[in-house]
Amino acid sequence: MVSATSPSPIWTSAEGSMAQATAKTRWPVIVQGMIDDVQQTIDDDSDTRNAKEGLDIIQELQALKENIEGDAALPALPEDGSSDIMGYNAQLASFGPMSWHNCPWLFAECYLYRRVHAIISGAPSWRGYDIFARAKLSSLISSKTAVQELSARYMSLSTVDAFNNNDRSDFAYTIFVEMTQIALWGNATDLSLLTAASPDQLEAIQGRKAIEEGQARIVSNDMADAWTYLSAHAGGAVDIILDNAGFELFTDLLYSLYLIDSGLAGSVRLHVKSMPWFVSDVNPHDIPILVSTLSDPRFFDLNGRVPALAARIQRLLNEGRIVMEEHPFWTTGYDFQCMPAVAPDLLGRLSTSTLVVFKGDLNYRKLVRDATWPYTTPFAEALGPLAGPKGFKILALRTNKADVCVGVDEETVRRLKVQEPGDNWVKNGKYAVISLSVC
Ligand code: F6P
Ligand code: MG
Assess whether 105 and 215 both reside in one domain. no
Residue 57 Cα to ligand 1 midpoint, Å, equals: 25
On whether residue 2 sits in a domain, the answer given is no
* Domain boundary residue, one of 71, 102, 126: 126
DSSP 288-351: HHHHHHHT-TTTS-TTSSHHHHHHHHHHHHHTTSEEEEE-GGGGSS--GGGHHHH-HHHHHHHH
Closest ligand relative to 190 C-alpha: 1
Assess whether 83 and 156 both reside in one domain. no
On whether residue 3 sits in a domain, the answer given is no
On whether residue 246 sits in a domain, the answer given is yes
Nearest CA to ligand 1 atom 14: 190
Assess whether 316 and 405 both reside in one domain. yes
On whether residue 7 sits in a domain, the answer given is no
The percentage of the chain sitting over the pLDDT mark of 90, rounded to a whole number, equals 78
Which ranges of 44-132 would DSSP assign to H, the alpha helix?
51-69, 83-95, 105-121
Closest ligand relative to 401 C-alpha: 1
Q: pTM for this structure?
A: 0.94
Work out which ligand 1 atom sits closest to the CA atom of 401.
Answer: 2
Assess whether 110 and 174 both reside in one domain. no
Assess whether 104 and 221 both reside in one domain. no
Residue 433 Cα to ligand 1 midpoint, Å, equals: 15
Closest ligand relative to 245 C-alpha: 2
SS3 422: coil
Q: Give the domain range for residue 266.
A: 133-437
- From the list 434, 273, 413, the residue with the least C-alpha distance to 358 is 434
Q: Are 305 and 155 in contact (CB under 8 A)?
A: yes
| pLDDT in the model for residue 165 | 63
Work out which ligand 1 atom sits closest to the CA atom of 244.
Answer: 14
Closest ligand relative to 22 C-alpha: 1
Q: Are 267 and 226 in contact (CB under 8 A)?
A: no
| pLDDT in the model for residue 189 | 63
Can you tell me the distance from the alpha carbon of 272 to that of 257, in angstroms, rounded to the nearest whole number?
A: 17
Model confidence at 195, in pLDDT bands (50, 70, 90)? very low
Region 6-17 average pLDDT: 96
Nearest CA to ligand 1 atom 12: 361
| pLDDT in the model for residue 192 | 44
Model confidence at 1, in pLDDT bands (50, 70, 90)? very low
On whether residue 207 sits in a domain, the answer given is yes
Region 24-44 average pLDDT: 97
Residue 185 Cα to ligand 1 midpoint, Å, equals: 14
Residue 218 Cα to ligand 1 midpoint, Å, equals: 18
pLDDT: is 161 or 288 the higher one?
288
C-alpha separations of 170 from 162, 163, 174, 266, 290 in Å? 9, 11, 6, 22, 33
Q: Are 335 and 106 in contact (CB under 8 A)?
A: yes
Q: Are 242 and 270 in contact (CB under 8 A)?
A: yes
Q: Which of 185, 361, 431 to mutate to test the pocket of ligand 1 (most atoms within 8 A of CB)?
A: 361
Residue 149, classified by CB atoms within 10 Å of its CB into exposed (0-12), middle (13-18) or buried (19+), is middle
On whether residue 232 sits in a domain, the answer given is yes
Work out which ligand 1 atom sits closest to the CA atom of 399.
Answer: 15
Region 234-239 average pLDDT: 97
Summarised one tens digit per residue, pLDDT across range 360-416 is 999 999 999 999 999 999 999 999 999 999 999 999 999 999 999 999 999 999 999
Assess whether 179 and 35 both reside in one domain. no
| pLDDT in the model for residue 200 | 59
| pLDDT in the model for residue 299 | 87
pLDDT at 129 over 90: yes
Assess whether 142 and 259 both reside in one domain. yes
Region 141-170 average pLDDT: 83
13-17, 123-127, 253-257, 294-298: which has the minimum mean pLDDT? 294-298
Can you tell me the distance from the alpha carbon of 16 to that of 354, in angstroms, rounded to the nearest whole number?
A: 40
> pLDDT averaged over the chain?
92
Residue 196 Cα to ligand 1 midpoint, Å, equals: 15
Assess whether 53 and 199 both reside in one domain. no
CB-based pocket (< 6 A), ligand 1 = 18, 22, 109, 187, 190, 192-193, 243-244, 278, 360-362, 365, 401-402
C-alpha 358: how far from chain center: 8
Assess whether 323 and 188 both reside in one domain. yes
- From the list 278, 375, 394, 377, the residue with the least C-alpha distance to 336 is 394
CA torsion sign, 189 to 194 to 199 to 202? negative
pLDDT at 18 over 60: yes
First to last CA, the chain: 18
Closest ligand relative to 360 C-alpha: 1
Can you tell me the distance from the alpha carbon of 435 to that of 431, in angstroms, rounded to the nearest whole number?
A: 13
Work out which ligand 1 atom sits closest to the CA atom of 22.
Answer: 1
Nearest CA to ligand 1 atom 4: 192
Q: Which of 24, 240, 278, 282 to mutate to test the pocket of ligand 1 (most atoms within 8 A of CB)?
A: 278
Residue 95 Cα to ligand 1 midpoint, Å, equals: 23
Q: What is the dihedral of CA 151, 156, 162, 167, to 10 degrees?
A: 40
Residue 165 Cα to ligand 2 midpoint, Å, equals: 34
CATH classification of the domain holding 332: 3.40.50.10880
* Domain boundary residue, one of 91, 109, 126: 126
Q: How many structural domains compose the chain?
A: 2
Model confidence at 171, in pLDDT bands (50, 70, 90)? confident
Nearest CA to ligand 1 atom 8: 362
On whether residue 6 sits in a domain, the answer given is no
SS3 100: coil
* Domain boundary residue, one of 126, 160, 177: 126
Residues with CB under 5 A from ligand 2 (ion): 190, 243-244, 278, 281
Assess whether 122 and 145 both reside in one domain. no
Nearest CA to ligand 1 atom 10: 401
Residue 89 Cα to ligand 2 midpoint, Å, equals: 23
Region 312-325 average pLDDT: 98
5-14, 87-96, 169-178: which has the minimum mean pLDDT? 169-178
The percentage of the chain sitting over the pLDDT mark of 70, rounded to a whole number, equals 93
Summarised one tens digit per residue, pLDDT across range 299-309 is 888 777 899 99
Assess whether 212 and 361 both reside in one domain. yes
Can you tell me the distance from the alpha carbon of 239 to that of 323, in angstroms, rounded to the nearest whole number?
A: 10
Model confidence at 158, in pLDDT bands (50, 70, 90)? confident
Region 264-289 average pLDDT: 97
Region 216-230 average pLDDT: 96
CATH classification of the domain holding 86: 1.20.930.60
On whether residue 67 sits in a domain, the answer given is yes
DSSP 153-184: HHHHHTTSGGGSTT--SHHHHHHHHHHHHHHH
Assess whether 367 and 421 both reside in one domain. yes
C-alpha separations of 386 from 169, 340, 347, 362, 436 in Å? 32, 9, 9, 16, 12
Q: What are phi and psi of 144, to 5 degrees?
A: -50, -45
Residue 244 Cα to ligand 2 midpoint, Å, equals: 5
Region 192-219 average pLDDT: 62
Residue 12 Cα to ligand 1 midpoint, Å, equals: 14
